[in-house]
Structure 1
């Protein structure tokens, strides 16, 4: 029996990486839009922030333990790229901790928004570099699962709130 769901067999892992990044970009935009919005309660903002931060952390931890290990074995010339991306993951994790602290406290909206802008810029640079350097190699992989390689399942088709199919 194949480890893939029927939907996963139709998609290459590099393309799935792009889908996950698109979903994370959209979630971050929603989170940023909620900062300072009088219609968004602080508790809802904190909940959304914690869910987003957890999703990014799961994705990066999954990549480090999954896709990056497989690619290091199968495409050794990617080692320098993989090391750079892992270093980025540590920078993103530090920024996520600062965002969580700000959203969990009584920080003014402009300070939260500034930190989210920093996170958005860091993630965008990271995602573009990762996609440029890894999509073809990921698309060539023939074994594994989206969650096992990329840390999270594919985002919902309806653009809903979580990365599940």
Structure 2
């Protein structure tokens, strides 16, 4: 194995953490748009913009993991299938919450209602990211997956 190959293998762990960091920042910007003190209608317009980017990125991240990353991990580490199943269930829950947020933004909804949606997504997303990083970190350091990071972890 060459030095470049080793770097690429270890990079999956760093790529995952980097994507999680960017998604956290996108959620923070979305929350700041709502907390900016603008009337609910203006906040909804801002949220529509931020939510579209954030929701698209979060959904793309989870779809990429389900399609590319988790099957590769399951093939290399069959004992992790229960962990991967739990992560896929989390993805379905987050998708449901994102759909609820998108509907609330499109409505438009009141600021407190929008905050509730963001609070729910933030809580589940953070719990999911921490669990995923803990459970998969060492596996990702050695995962031999020949794919583009955007295909595997979403277009961020």
Q: Which category of TM-score, normalised to the shorter sequence, fits these structures?
A: 0.7 to 0.9
1:146 to 138, 149, 156: 149
Counterparts of 1:53-64 in structure 2, within 5 Å, are 53-64=55-66
Q: Which runs of 4+ in 1 moved over 6 A?
A: none
Q: CA deviation at 1:149?
A: 2.1
1:45 to 42, 47, 50: 47
Normalised TM-score (structure 1): 0.82
Matched with 1:32 is 31
Q: Partners in 2 of 1:108 and 1:41 — Cα distance?
A: 9
| Alignment check: 8 A CA contact 2:61 2:152 kept | no
| Alignment check: 8 A CA contact 1:96 1:119 kept | yes
Is 1:122 aligned to 2:124, yes or no?
A: yes
Show CA shifts across 1:77-102 (max 9, x none): 11000000000000000000000011
Query: For structure 2, which runs of at least 5 residues remain unmatched after alignment?
Result: none
Show CA shifts across 1:31-83 (max 9, x none): 01111424565323201101110111000000000000100101111100000
Aligned length: 147
After superposition, the Cα gap between the structure-2 partners of 1:67 and 1:10, relative to the gap in structure 1 and judged at 3 Å, is closer
Query: For structure 1, which runs of at least 5 residues remain unmatched after alignment?
Result: 153-162
